[in-house]
Structure 1
Amino acid sequence: MRILQVITLCDLGGAQSVVVNLANSLVKEHEVIVAAGAGDGKMWLSLHPSVICEHIPSLRRALSLLNEIKTIRAMRKLYKKYHPDIIHLHSSKAGLLGRIAFPSAKIVYTVHGFDSIRIAHRKYLFLEKMLQFRCRTIIGVSKYDEDNLCNEGINNNVCFVYNGISQPLRLPESPFNKMRSYSKIILCIARLSPQKNVDLFLKVSELLPQYAFVWIGNQHEFRGQYSENVFFMGSLPNAGAYNEYADLFILPSNYEGLPMTIIEAMAFGKPVVASKVGGISEIVLDDENGYTVENSAKAFREKICYILENKDVYTRFSKNALKSYQEKLTVDNMIDGYLRIYNGIVD
């Protein structure tokens, strides 16, 4: 098969990580083209050399009629150049323009967290409803997303495929040596944005001064005030590998799809405490491999302490986290799910 993957930005966030994992795995047996727009370009560096890369400079998150017209033209040129068997669209902007530009019979569209549209950008929901018939399949990244798509009237060939990752890279030594004075290290990997609740992260850190709280994400460190047990490390390559030297992973958030960062933590056997949003509770199972909680500092503190202060609980959660990853969150599981969809279109 010749497969064209299209995503809005070429940064390396959660949705881009899915594209990278898909492309790098599929290129072993198929021809894969990845097209993306603006961004810092880190996604390109993560792709296998056999993957064909196409940059669409006009494809940006910000609205611009001129850029949208340029992008549709660029997409149509790509189609004429490659004549792909499958066109896989990722993220709302690429999903919108791609469904206008490409033949609908070949399109699958992954919504990487429907709450980003349903809650944060609801004014664009009508476009999703209108364009649902301009593709063969709409894919959520969790059952939660699939259900909410259907509840909002987007129910034309909707399904879900869990995100998956390959076995993460390992670091040669601990990057947290300067934090040895703290009894435990609690890690969060997320960008600094309104979606990711950094204020809640800071409130939790104040309640647990005996633990080091590490935030990895964004080019620049957080500029607000925070307690001395908080460490903002900025944007780091292979950030998921830092889980190996942390004790527990947390993710305070206002809305999510199925966060890749949680899957990375589980691949290292780390218990997780996260906000009860999106599809997180489908993989973070209460009293099994972690907890999902309401967005309150007290709730986070209670579960963090329970896990870290009970050795038997920690050991059990750690084993179960790794087991959860191995059973349903590997890149092979994700590839199998998408190939079933692709083959249904090509056949």
Structure 2
Amino acid sequence: MSQSLRIVHCFRSPVGGIFRHVRDLADAQAAAGHKVGIVCDSSTGGEYEARLFRAMESKLELGVRRTPMQRHVGLGDIAAAWRTFRLIKELQPDILHGHSAKGGVYSRVFGSLLRVSRSRVARLYSPHGGSLHYNPSTMTGRATFMLEGMLERVSDHILFVSEYEQDTYRRKVGEPKVGHRVVYNGVTPAEFEPVLPAADASDFLYIGMMRDLKGPDIFIDALGLAEKALGRPLTATMVGSGDDRDRYVAMVAERGMSERVTFLDPMPARQAFALARTVVVPSRAEALPYIVLEALAAGRPMIASAVGGIPEIFADAPTALVTPQPDAIAGKMVLAASDPAAWAAAMPRPADIAARFSVSRMAQEIETVYRSVIL
């Protein structure tokens, strides 16, 4: 049996796809006999995320440590950073794996500080989109990508979740000068059990974070345009939380659609899939979103933005792909609502998703990387 590793995953916000990725990876690593811990923000996430933490804590020998973390790196972040560093130092990791922008900064800076005190920790970074979403023509973007280039010097490996993410890094930061690899996100065998829509299901479902980057506003606008094109009302369910949720509720009310659009708090994806006939992912930017993999594994028809790594998922069945614009998505909504059977038949087969995107494959490939960089 291979030597057990002490693995700490560090990230800021325990919501959405990043949290899902860390949970799956931590579960698989703990099952493989490793000592695993999580360090993340305590000020984001609600009761749903708290339940997920409670369900996994008993599996993690190094536990779950939560402390307030600011979203952006800056002078006001010093106290939070010091608290986080002390938590990580106490856990004595062999592997410090940072996820997204803040986790990436912490894993590499704190890992380097631990090395000064003779720790042999390996420093890994998974962008998950994160800072790569910035525009390189803006001052913020230029500063961000300069920082990424500097942090690369104290990185042992960079793990990308899609070819698109890797190409974006090359274009905005430069060719990586350290080891790097694409490891696709994966879904579990249980997620390939089909989910059927409920008898009172809505026409369309949005599930995800309530922020403009993920396109809830596009979804609402597209729904209105599709209604006009079809000449009849459509229904929708919107599941998720976020700082902009109240604005989307107001947007729906202003358009006189409140009776047809239902807002619900976060819930398990498979529970949400039963609430509508077609899942819509209208994101303006993505890395490799779990929600797309989960929906296709469950046999749910989809409409998805052709951004980030999403086209890599739909490589052999691109019918569902669309530009993240209200009129374009409305056109796909019209097709899906007019002939649901034909639309469902155009989706990738769950068996094809299983062959390329599995949790076991993801965990094995990441462990191979860990062992290649351990000191």
Structure 2 residue aligned with 1:337: 365
Counterpart pick for 1:149 among 162, 169, 174:
169
Q: How many Å apart are 1:76 and its aligned residue?
A: 4.5
Do the aligned residues in 1 keep the contact of 2:39 with 2:84 (CA within 8 Å)?
no
SS at match of 2:320: strand
Structure 2 residue aligned with 1:129: 149
Instruction: Provide the rounded CA distance (Å) in 2 between the counterparts of 1:77 and 1:48.
Output: 16
Superposition map of 1:61-72 within 5 A = 61-72=71-82
Q: How many Å apart are 1:89 and its aligned residue?
A: 0.6
* Worse-matched range after superposition: 102-111 or 14-23: 102-111
User: What does the per-residue CA deviation read over 1:78-122, in whole Å, with 9 as the maximum and x for residues that have no partner?
Assistant: 23x332221111111121122111147601110011532456951
Which amino acid counterpart does residue 223 of structure 1 have in structure 2? A
Do the aligned residues in 2 keep the contact of 1:140 with 1:158 (CA within 8 Å)?
yes
Report how many residues are paired: 338
User: What does the per-residue CA deviation read over 1:187-211, in whole Å, with 9 as the maximum and x for residues that have no partner?
Assistant: 1112221212222211211123343
| 1:207 pairs with 2:192 | no
| 4+ aligned runs moved over 4 Å, structure 1 | 118-121, 169-176
Structure 1 residue aligned with 2:333: 304
Which amino acid counterpart does residue 311 of structure 2 have in structure 1? S
Structure 2 residue aligned with 1:78: 88
Name the % identity.
Answer: 22
Which amino acid counterpart does residue 10 of structure 2 have in structure 1? V
Do the aligned residues in 2 keep the contact of 1:163 with 1:258 (CA within 8 Å)?
yes
| 1:47 pairs with 2:50 | no
SS at match of 2:7: strand
Which amino acid counterpart does residue 301 of structure 2 have in structure 1? P
Q: Are residues 100 and 73 of structure 1, via their aligned partners in 2, closer, same or farther at CA, if it must alter by over 3 Å?
A: farther
Instruction: Provide the rounded CA distance (Å) in 1 between the counterparts of 2:197 and 2:321.
Output: 28
Structure 1 length-normalised TM: 0.86
Structure 2 residue aligned with 1:326: 354
Q: Identify unmatched segments of 5+ residues in structure 2.
A: 116-120, 228-232
Instruction: Provide the rounded CA distance (Å) in 2 between the counterparts of 1:333 and 1:241.
Output: 25
* Larger helix share, 1 or 2: 2
Do the aligned residues in 1 keep the contact of 2:218 with 2:324 (CA within 8 Å)?
yes
Instruction: Provide the rounded CA distance (Å) in 2 between the counterparts of 1:172 and 1:328.
Output: 20
Structure 2 length-normalised TM: 0.80
Instruction: Provide the rounded CA distance (Å) in 2 between the counterparts of 1:198 and 1:77.
Output: 36
Instruction: Provide the rounded CA distance (Å) in 2 between the counterparts of 1:56 and 1:6.
Output: 10
Do the aligned residues in 2 keep the contact of 1:171 with 1:242 (CA within 8 Å)?
no
Superposition map of 1:112-191 within 5 A = 112-114=128-130, 115-118=132-135, 122=141, 123-151=143-171, 152-156=173-177, 157-166=179-188, 167-168=190-191, 177=200, 185-191=203-209
Structure 2 residue aligned with 1:198: 216
| 1:232 pairs with 2:249 | no
Instruction: Provide the rounded CA distance (Å) in 1 between the counterparts of 2:167 and 2:195.
Output: 42
Instruction: Provide the rounded CA distance (Å) in 2 between the counterparts of 1:298 and 1:344.
Output: 48
Do the aligned residues in 1 keep the contact of 2:197 with 2:277 (CA within 8 Å)?
no
Q: How many Å apart are 1:243 and its aligned residue?
A: 1.4
Instruction: Provide the rounded CA distance (Å) in 1 between the counterparts of 2:192 and 2:345.
Output: 24
Q: How many Å apart are 1:315 and its aligned residue?
A: 4.3
Which amino acid counterpart does residue 155 of structure 1 have in structure 2? P
